[in-house]
Structure 1
Amino acid sequence: MNRRVFAKQTALGSMGLALTPQFTLSQTTYKDFVSKRPPKKERLFTSKAIEEVIKKVKKQLKDPELAWLFENCFPNTLDTTVFYKEEIGRPLSHIITGDINAMWLRDSTCQVWPYVPFANKDEKLRKMIVGLINWQADCVLVDPYANAFKKDKSEVSQWKDDLTDMKDELHERKWEINSLLFVIRLAYKYWKTTGDTAPFDANWENAMKLIYQTLLEQQRFDNLGPYTFMRETTQANEVIANNGYGRPTRKIGMIHATHRQDDACVFPFYVPDNLMAVVELKHLAEMFKTILNNTTYAERCLKMADQIDSAIKEYAIIEHKVFGKMYAFEVDGFGSQLLLEESTIPNLMSLPYIDACDINDPVYQNTRKWLLSEWNPKFVKGKFTEGIGSTHYFEPPKRIWPLSTISRALTTDDKEEIMFCVEQIKRSNAGTGFIHESYLPDHPEDFTRPWFSWVNTYFGEMILILLEKYPKLLS
């Protein structure tokens, strides 16, 4: 189903919001912290290693509500969204988003990402991750332009009549560059963590070659490429200009997209995805060369990464009259630019998290200041809360997306700002025991998507990172 259909109907305060009595770690609103996890017999997948992590972290966290949230949220992907099987000994893992019965390539990588460091401690968990690597490769080979896939071809997608090449395996066919980039990201992380190269067989190599070919097509040096998308709709953020190809561009080496994070691009060069492409193409080149002994494709990937990087520096870093040099959100190569923000990953806030730049990079820091200011049309501020919203829902009302607040906490070394973010995320659960897609400022009980696995797991990842980086901050 559409994420909107499932929506529940219902800087430090421009860097100046302090930890008021409403936002202090020592206070709790909900006294009865009973686990919200499914009964053990109803959990779709279990991991001894992850259960040990939960026990350890609960003891470390001094705030009982934060510990309760971690217990509920960190295993949420395993508990409720993993469908694991083996076919002729080959692991396969289909991971739905939560309240939408389909697997997004981006979301599924993010959902298992914080489990990968524990793969060496749990063979069952390792095989589940290999299963996702395998399933993602299969998905790419079915259609590299699709963003979301069914578990079974017999399921009927509500988007089956979209004006694009819908195949039986597809839930939705929106071209988002990061769908393919997250496939690379997971494989590279798994390899670097485990040293295991078994999943990277001929099938996987063919999928990676197709990823390269698709990205090359969407540089559009020679033509517009094979992909178009149209949908019969009254929603402007579902409409792709220029008969489904997107607005005109200069061919500068950046990769074109029709969509970013489920919504239509205004200008086809979505900057965060292109920055992520530089990172992941270099990772793919390393895997081609080291694992597959394929120097031809390794060199091609590095050449493309250099092209994109050069074009970003020339066309996507702009001069703002207040903030100086900063990243644009989208550009077209002719000089047009869009200054905006999206809350999911990758976005401008999360660039250091995806290794696209250093936290202290001056261009990123200027961009971050802009993000947390009223110059950003998606910056949302209430009496006690502030954050960044999304283009995904119509406004008003403006909503805060916890995904972006988590990214904010992970892209600063300011402990006060980190604690401000942690406290806002904690309060946003509104007594449910889970983190949600979005909520109204100062009214977290008015939220969208009660079951959104990605944000739950990302919250758990944030807790683990903060405990490692700042051992005394939360414990």
Structure 2
Amino acid sequence: MMSFALGAATLGAPGLSLAKSASSFASKRPVPGKRKFVSKSVEQLIARTKAKIADPELAWIFENCFPNTLDTTVELGTLRGKPDTFVVTGDIDAMWLRDSSAQVWPYVSLAKEDADLRRLFRGLIRRQAVCIAIDPYANAFLPDPTAKTNLDWAQQDITDMRPGVAERKWEIDSLCYPIRLAAAYWKATGDREPFDDDWRAAMRLVVKTFREQQRKDGHGPYHFQRRSPIPTESLFLGGYGSPAKPVGLIHSMFRPSDDACLYPLFIPANLFAVYALRELGPMTQALFGDTAFADECKALADEVQHAAEKYGVMRDEQGAEFWAYEVDGYGNQLFMDDANAPGLLSLAYLGCCPLDDARFRRTRELAWSTRNPYFFKGKAAEGVGGPHEGLRMIWPMSIMMRAFTSRDDAEIRQCLHWLKTTHAGTGFMHEAFDQDDPAHFTRPWFAWANTLFGELIVELADKRPALLRG
């Protein structure tokens, strides 16, 4: 995913004083008549949550951010005679399977009692099935399934580009996120309506693609090259990626940052695939009575988990275990972390392991330290970034993941402070900001980060309300 920068000169103001009164924080939401989608239950949740926040600036940012996906990125319609929902990322006019799933995630729990939200989710689950059917190796799609990509950077990609595809970077998590969303929606509502034969066929294609990318019989059909001065935009060896031993792990050519993997056995995404398969099997068993497919999901999940345990674990000087970021199955292992999810910091958030899992706690500690080359600490904040925006650039998403996975009130308060003081006066979260200068940031309109921030505040209001009372 390409990025869009907005610097201090464009902003016109380095930040807002914490001493300002509540009346100083005018809403940055579109006026009601200009909002893309309105949910009464979401508006009620915003009002209830905002009432629990003592800090007026934090309340203001929350009110701007939590509904940002609904306010600005959702397009309802019909496709092939069925309800359709298309969700853009924000400042890029395309739908990523990952982002679209994550953007609406905080609203799932409200859908049972909200018919409008059920309509949104039904359309999105269907649209994601259509996208997977078009090309399970693509990460981003266009509103028109017959159109040619309109993304400037993808026009000349050397790959098997298909109509309807915006970008074709193979990332394991692109197929995991729709499963996570579908399973959560089904559990929350009991609604069977979007789970038709097309969705069922798409899920079979997911498992088939995972199997292909275990690469037990050759490198499989996927290849990708891009003419770019940025090395992480293309793949080695004719577009098939760096070599890796076929040990049962799924090969991922790109990370959720849309940057190429160094070693193709990307551990966080493999663990996410295990989680997704363990959700998918019982769900399809319950919906369709498909025992054979449920057993196939379980067998593949077991195989990938066993391989991750064998090849994806590292040990420190004292012998304590932690997860590698990427491996190649030949014995080479990379430790780092990237703020995008799935990453090492987000494993527990995504359900890949328990929050109190000892290996995760150790991994989390190392990812938030100088052991990780993409951990940055400056005058404004500390956090994790990644190669996508370069050195010194902290992603607010990493600070949110630290808060989501924390058991310490002081640590969460520090995360809230960083998030509140680095939005550069905009009232929104961004993709990344400079460790010393929050006014230097990328992506002024990044709906996933906005909604994730809102999700964090809602969770704290529910589980740790004292942190929001001052």
TM-score range, shorter chain: over 0.9
Task: Tell me which residue corresponds to 1:246.
Answer: 241
3-state SS of the aligned residue for 2:24?
coil
Task: Tell me which residue corresponds to 1:15.
Answer: none
3-state SS of the aligned residue for 2:62?
helix
- Tell me the CA shift for residue 320 of structure 1: 2.2
Return the match for 2:143 from 147, 151, 168: 151
- Tell me the CA shift for residue 154 of structure 1: 5.9
1:436·1:451 contact (CA, 8 Å) conserved in 2? yes
- Tell me the CA shift for residue 66 of structure 1: 0.8
2:382·2:394 contact (CA, 8 Å) conserved in 1? yes
Return the match for 1:460 from 450, 454, 460: 454
Instruction: Give the partner amino acid of 2:163.
Output: D
Task: Tell me which residue corresponds to 2:13.
Answer: none
1:160·1:166 contact (CA, 8 Å) conserved in 2? no
The 5 A counterparts of 1:149-298 are 149-152=141-144, 153=147, 156-158=150-152, 159-261=154-256, 262-298=258-294
| Length-normalised TM-score, structure 2 | 0.94
- 1-structure distance, mates of 2:207, 2:155: 27
- 1-structure distance, mates of 2:340, 2:325: 13
Percentage of pairs with the same residue: 45
Return the match for 1:473 from 447, 467, 470: 467
- 1-structure distance, mates of 2:341, 2:406: 16
Task: Tell me which residue corresponds to 2:58.
Answer: 66
Task: Tell me which residue corresponds to 1:3.
Answer: 2
Instruction: Give the partner amino acid of 2:2.
Output: R
| Length-normalised TM-score, structure 1 | 0.93
Return the match for 1:423 from 412, 417, 426: 417
From the superposition, tell whether residues 42 and 374 of structure 1 become closer, same or farther in structure 2 (CA, over 3 Å): same
3-state SS of the aligned residue for 1:259?
coil
The 5 A counterparts of 1:19-30 are none
- Tell me the CA shift for residue 239 of structure 1: 2.2
1:402·1:437 contact (CA, 8 Å) conserved in 2? yes
- Tell me the CA shift for residue 121 of structure 1: 2.2
1:35-86 CA-to-partner distances (Å, cap 9, x unmatched) read 0001111111111111111111111111111110111000000010000113
1:174-194 CA-to-partner distances (Å, cap 9, x unmatched) read 000000000101100000000
- 2-structure distance, mates of 1:360, 1:49: 32
From the superposition, tell whether residues 300 and 8 of structure 1 become closer, same or farther in structure 2 (CA, over 3 Å): same
2:106·2:455 contact (CA, 8 Å) conserved in 1? yes
3-state SS of the aligned residue for 2:177?
helix
- 1-structure distance, mates of 2:94, 2:88: 5
- 2-structure distance, mates of 1:29, 1:446: 26
Instruction: Give the partner amino acid of 2:435.
Output: P
Return the match for 1:45 from 37, 50, 62: 37
1:329-371 CA-to-partner distances (Å, cap 9, x unmatched) read 0001110011111101111001111111112211111111111
Task: Tell me which residue corresponds to 1:137.
Answer: 129
3-state SS of the aligned residue for 1:83?
strand
- Tell me the CA shift for residue 323 of structure 1: 7.6
Task: Tell me which residue corresponds to 1:14.
Answer: none
Equivalent pairs counted in the alignment come to 457
Instruction: Give the partner amino acid of 2:406.
Output: T
From the superposition, tell whether residues 288 and 441 of structure 1 become closer, same or farther in structure 2 (CA, over 3 Å): same
Is 1:92 equivalent to 2:57 in the alignment? no
Return the match for 1:357 from 353, 358, 378: 353
- Tell me the CA shift for residue 393 of structure 1: 2.0
Is 1:314 equivalent to 2:310 in the alignment? yes
Instruction: Give the partner amino acid of 2:245.
Output: R
Instruction: Give the partner amino acid of 2:24.
Output: D
Task: Tell me which residue corresponds to 1:407.
Answer: 401
- Tell me the CA shift for residue 31 of structure 1: 6.8
Return the match for 2:74 from 70, 82, 86: 82
1:103·1:150 contact (CA, 8 Å) conserved in 2? yes
- 2-structure distance, mates of 1:123, 1:389: 38
Instruction: Give the partner amino acid of 1:7.
Output: A
2:5·2:442 contact (CA, 8 Å) conserved in 1? yes
Instruction: Give the partner amino acid of 2:5.
Output: A
- 1-structure distance, mates of 2:380, 2:408: 19
Task: Tell me which residue corresponds to 1:366.
Answer: 362
Task: Tell me which residue corresponds to 2:93.
Answer: 101
- 2-structure distance, mates of 1:391, 1:442: 18
From the superposition, tell whether residues 29 and 419 of structure 1 become closer, same or farther in structure 2 (CA, over 3 Å): farther
1:249·1:334 contact (CA, 8 Å) conserved in 2? yes
Instruction: Give the partner amino acid of 2:342.
Output: P
- 2-structure distance, mates of 1:29, 1:301: 54
1:323·1:367 contact (CA, 8 Å) conserved in 2? no
- 1-structure distance, mates of 2:157, 2:211: 25
Is 1:125 equivalent to 2:117 in the alignment? yes
Instruction: Give the partner amino acid of 1:445.
Output: A
Structure 1 alignment gaps of length 5 or more: 11-24
Task: Give me the CA root mean square deviation.
Answer: 1.7
1:262-315 CA-to-partner distances (Å, cap 9, x unmatched) read 000000011000011111101110112111111111111100000011011111
1:250·1:332 contact (CA, 8 Å) conserved in 2? yes
1:135-192 CA-to-partner distances (Å, cap 9, x unmatched) read 0000000000000001122662321220001112011000000000001011000000
- 2-structure distance, mates of 1:51, 1:32: 21
Task: Tell me which residue corresponds to 1:32.
Answer: 24
2:224·2:235 contact (CA, 8 Å) conserved in 1? yes
1:434-462 CA-to-partner distances (Å, cap 9, x unmatched) read 11111011311111100000000000000
From the superposition, tell whether residues 307 and 88 of structure 1 become closer, same or farther in structure 2 (CA, over 3 Å): closer
Task: Tell me which residue corresponds to 1:434.
Answer: 428
From the superposition, tell whether residues 323 and 468 of structure 1 become closer, same or farther in structure 2 (CA, over 3 Å): farther
1:327·1:364 contact (CA, 8 Å) conserved in 2? yes
